[in-house]
Amino acid sequence: MAGCCNNGQTSGSVSFDDVIKTRRSVRSYDATKTISEAEVRELLASAQEAPSWANQQPTKYYVAQSAAMVDSVKNYIGGNRRNVEGAPVLIISTFERGKSGFFRENPANELGDQWGAYDNGLANAYLVLKARAMGFDTLIMGMRDSDALRRLFGIPENETITAVISLGYRSGEPRQPQHRNLDEIVKLF
Protein backbone atom coordinates (compact mmCIF):
# COMPACT_ATOMS: atom_id res chain seq x y z
CA MET A 1 0.00 0.00 0.00
CA ALA A 2 1.63 3.26 -1.10
CA GLY A 3 1.09 6.31 0.99
CA CYS A 4 1.62 8.02 4.30
CA CYS A 5 4.10 7.74 7.02
CA ASN A 6 5.58 10.26 9.47
CA ASN A 7 4.90 13.98 9.07
CA GLY A 8 2.65 13.50 6.07
CA GLN A 9 5.51 12.33 3.88
CA THR A 10 4.84 9.49 1.47
CA SER A 11 6.59 6.17 1.33
CA GLY A 12 6.42 3.11 -0.88
CA SER A 13 4.51 1.03 1.64
CA VAL A 14 2.58 1.63 4.81
CA SER A 15 0.63 -0.72 7.05
CA PHE A 16 -3.06 -0.36 7.77
CA ASP A 17 -2.17 0.15 11.44
CA ASP A 18 0.09 3.07 10.43
CA VAL A 19 -2.78 4.61 8.46
CA ILE A 20 -5.09 4.36 11.46
CA LYS A 21 -2.50 5.62 13.93
CA THR A 22 -1.45 8.64 11.85
CA ARG A 23 -4.91 9.78 10.67
CA ARG A 24 -5.91 12.96 12.44
CA SER A 25 -8.50 15.70 12.06
CA VAL A 26 -6.21 18.28 10.48
CA ARG A 27 -6.94 21.98 10.91
CA SER A 28 -3.86 23.45 9.22
CA TYR A 29 -3.02 22.73 5.57
CA ASP A 30 0.01 23.38 3.36
CA ALA A 31 -1.33 25.77 0.69
CA THR A 32 1.63 25.09 -1.61
CA LYS A 33 0.53 21.51 -2.35
CA THR A 34 -2.24 20.47 -4.71
CA ILE A 35 -4.22 17.29 -5.34
CA SER A 36 -4.99 16.14 -8.88
CA GLU A 37 -8.36 15.08 -10.23
CA ALA A 38 -6.91 11.59 -10.80
CA GLU A 39 -5.96 11.39 -7.11
CA VAL A 40 -9.44 12.52 -6.05
CA ARG A 41 -10.99 9.90 -8.32
CA GLU A 42 -8.75 7.17 -6.87
CA LEU A 43 -9.75 8.26 -3.36
CA LEU A 44 -13.49 8.26 -4.13
CA ALA A 45 -13.26 4.90 -5.92
CA SER A 46 -11.94 3.47 -2.64
CA ALA A 47 -14.82 5.06 -0.72
CA GLN A 48 -17.16 3.34 -3.16
CA GLU A 49 -15.85 -0.03 -1.90
CA ALA A 50 -17.49 0.51 1.50
CA PRO A 51 -20.32 -1.88 2.38
CA SER A 52 -23.88 -0.61 2.26
CA TRP A 53 -27.37 -1.97 2.97
CA ALA A 54 -28.21 -4.45 0.17
CA ASN A 55 -25.45 -2.79 -1.88
CA GLN A 56 -27.69 0.28 -2.33
CA GLN A 57 -24.64 2.60 -2.38
CA PRO A 58 -26.57 5.67 -1.18
CA THR A 59 -23.51 7.88 -0.70
CA LYS A 60 -22.85 10.68 -3.18
CA TYR A 61 -19.94 13.13 -3.28
CA TYR A 62 -19.78 16.67 -4.64
CA VAL A 63 -16.19 17.86 -5.05
CA ALA A 64 -14.94 21.45 -5.04
CA GLN A 65 -11.51 21.48 -6.70
CA SER A 66 -11.30 24.84 -8.43
CA ALA A 67 -10.17 27.75 -6.29
CA ALA A 68 -13.48 29.52 -6.97
CA MET A 69 -15.59 26.56 -5.82
CA VAL A 70 -13.41 25.92 -2.77
CA ASP A 71 -13.79 29.59 -1.80
CA SER A 72 -17.56 29.38 -2.32
CA VAL A 73 -17.84 26.32 -0.06
CA LYS A 74 -15.79 28.08 2.63
CA ASN A 75 -18.57 30.66 2.86
CA TYR A 76 -20.94 27.93 4.05
CA ILE A 77 -18.94 26.09 6.74
CA GLY A 78 -19.11 28.59 9.58
CA GLY A 79 -16.20 28.69 12.00
CA ASN A 80 -14.44 25.86 10.19
CA ARG A 81 -13.44 28.29 7.43
CA ARG A 82 -10.19 29.08 9.25
CA ASN A 83 -9.53 25.35 9.80
CA VAL A 84 -9.46 24.57 6.08
CA GLU A 85 -7.30 27.43 4.83
CA GLY A 86 -4.83 25.93 2.38
CA ALA A 87 -6.87 22.77 1.72
CA PRO A 88 -7.07 22.42 -2.08
CA VAL A 89 -10.21 20.22 -2.09
CA LEU A 90 -13.51 20.29 -0.21
CA ILE A 91 -15.90 17.35 -0.55
CA ILE A 92 -19.61 17.46 0.26
CA SER A 93 -20.89 14.05 1.41
CA THR A 94 -24.56 13.09 1.05
CA PHE A 95 -26.79 10.05 1.04
CA GLU A 96 -29.96 9.30 -0.91
CA ARG A 97 -32.90 8.85 1.44
CA GLY A 98 -35.24 5.87 1.07
CA LYS A 99 -32.58 3.41 -0.15
CA SER A 100 -30.66 1.92 2.76
CA GLY A 101 -32.79 0.46 5.53
CA PHE A 102 -35.77 -0.34 3.35
CA PHE A 103 -37.29 -3.55 2.03
CA ARG A 104 -39.93 -3.26 -0.70
CA GLU A 105 -40.13 0.48 -0.03
CA ASN A 106 -40.91 0.00 3.69
CA PRO A 107 -38.49 0.58 6.58
CA ALA A 108 -36.95 -2.78 7.51
CA ASN A 109 -36.64 -1.79 11.18
CA GLU A 110 -36.96 1.21 13.50
CA LEU A 111 -33.87 2.88 12.03
CA GLY A 112 -35.28 3.40 8.53
CA ASP A 113 -33.30 6.17 6.81
CA GLN A 114 -30.75 6.21 9.59
CA TRP A 115 -29.17 3.28 7.74
CA GLY A 116 -28.39 5.73 4.94
CA ALA A 117 -26.46 7.87 7.40
CA TYR A 118 -24.73 4.72 8.70
CA ASP A 119 -23.74 3.68 5.16
CA ASN A 120 -22.56 7.23 4.45
CA GLY A 121 -20.40 7.09 7.58
CA LEU A 122 -18.83 3.84 6.42
CA ALA A 123 -18.04 5.33 3.01
CA ASN A 124 -16.58 8.44 4.67
CA ALA A 125 -14.43 6.24 6.92
CA TYR A 126 -13.05 4.50 3.84
CA LEU A 127 -12.46 7.94 2.28
CA VAL A 128 -10.47 9.37 5.20
CA LEU A 129 -8.41 6.20 5.65
CA LYS A 130 -7.61 5.98 1.93
CA ALA A 131 -6.73 9.68 1.99
CA ARG A 132 -4.24 9.05 4.77
CA ALA A 133 -2.80 6.02 2.95
CA MET A 134 -2.25 8.31 -0.06
CA GLY A 135 -0.45 10.86 2.16
CA PHE A 136 -3.38 13.30 2.42
CA ASP A 137 -5.14 14.65 5.45
CA THR A 138 -8.79 15.39 6.21
CA LEU A 139 -11.21 17.16 8.50
CA ILE A 140 -14.83 16.00 8.66
CA MET A 141 -17.08 18.98 9.39
CA GLY A 142 -20.70 18.90 10.47
CA MET A 143 -21.15 22.67 10.71
CA ARG A 144 -22.44 23.81 7.34
CA ASP A 145 -25.26 25.64 5.60
CA SER A 146 -26.95 22.71 3.86
CA ASP A 147 -29.40 24.86 1.92
CA ALA A 148 -26.63 27.02 0.46
CA LEU A 149 -24.51 23.97 -0.42
CA ARG A 150 -27.54 22.31 -2.02
CA ARG A 151 -28.02 25.37 -4.26
CA LEU A 152 -24.29 25.71 -5.05
CA PHE A 153 -23.90 22.09 -6.21
CA GLY A 154 -27.44 21.39 -7.43
CA ILE A 155 -27.86 18.62 -4.85
CA PRO A 156 -31.29 16.97 -5.21
CA GLU A 157 -33.84 17.28 -2.41
CA ASN A 158 -33.88 13.49 -1.86
CA GLU A 159 -30.27 13.62 -0.60
CA THR A 160 -29.27 14.47 2.97
CA ILE A 161 -26.05 16.45 3.31
CA THR A 162 -24.06 14.90 6.13
CA ALA A 163 -20.64 16.52 6.05
CA VAL A 164 -18.05 18.65 4.34
CA ILE A 165 -14.64 16.98 4.25
CA SER A 166 -11.47 18.96 3.63
CA LEU A 167 -8.65 17.24 1.76
CA GLY A 168 -5.06 18.40 1.65
CA TYR A 169 -1.61 18.04 3.18
CA ARG A 170 -1.03 18.79 6.85
CA SER A 171 1.04 21.79 7.78
CA GLY A 172 2.75 20.66 10.96
CA GLU A 173 1.93 17.73 13.16
CA PRO A 174 -1.56 17.70 14.72
CA ARG A 175 -1.84 16.60 18.30
CA GLN A 176 -3.07 13.12 19.10
CA PRO A 177 -6.23 13.23 21.20
CA GLN A 178 -6.53 11.22 24.38
CA HIS A 179 -8.83 8.24 23.91
CA ARG A 180 -11.11 6.77 26.54
CA ASN A 181 -10.05 3.57 28.23
CA LEU A 182 -11.15 0.62 26.08
CA ASP A 183 -13.07 -0.90 29.01
CA GLU A 184 -15.28 2.20 29.09
CA ILE A 185 -16.61 1.47 25.59
CA VAL A 186 -16.43 -2.33 25.34
CA LYS A 187 -18.45 -4.95 27.19
CA LEU A 188 -17.33 -8.52 26.57
CA PHE A 189 -19.68 -11.35 27.50
- Whether residue 50 is contained in a domain is answered as yes
Contact of 5 with 133, CB cutoff 8 Å: no
Give the pLDDT of the chain (189 residues) as one tens digit per residue.
445 654 444 456 789 999 999 999 999 999 999 999 999 999 999 999 999 999 999 999 999 999 999 999 999 999 999 999 999 999 999 999 999 999 988 999 999 889 999 999 999 999 999 999 999 999 999 999 999 999 999 999 999 999 999 999 999 888 888 889 999 999 999
- Whether residue 165 is contained in a domain is answered as yes
The CA distances from residue 66 to 8, 31, 77, 91, 105, in Å, are 23, 14, 17, 12, 39
Contact of 90 with 74, CB cutoff 8 Å: yes
Range of the domain at 114: 3-172
pTM for this predicted structure: 0.90
- Strand-pairing partners, residue 103, are 106
Tally the domains of the chain.
1
Contact of 100 with 114, CB cutoff 8 Å: no
- Whether residue 94 is contained in a domain is answered as yes
- How far is the C-alpha of 159 from the C-alpha of 121, rounded, in Å? 14
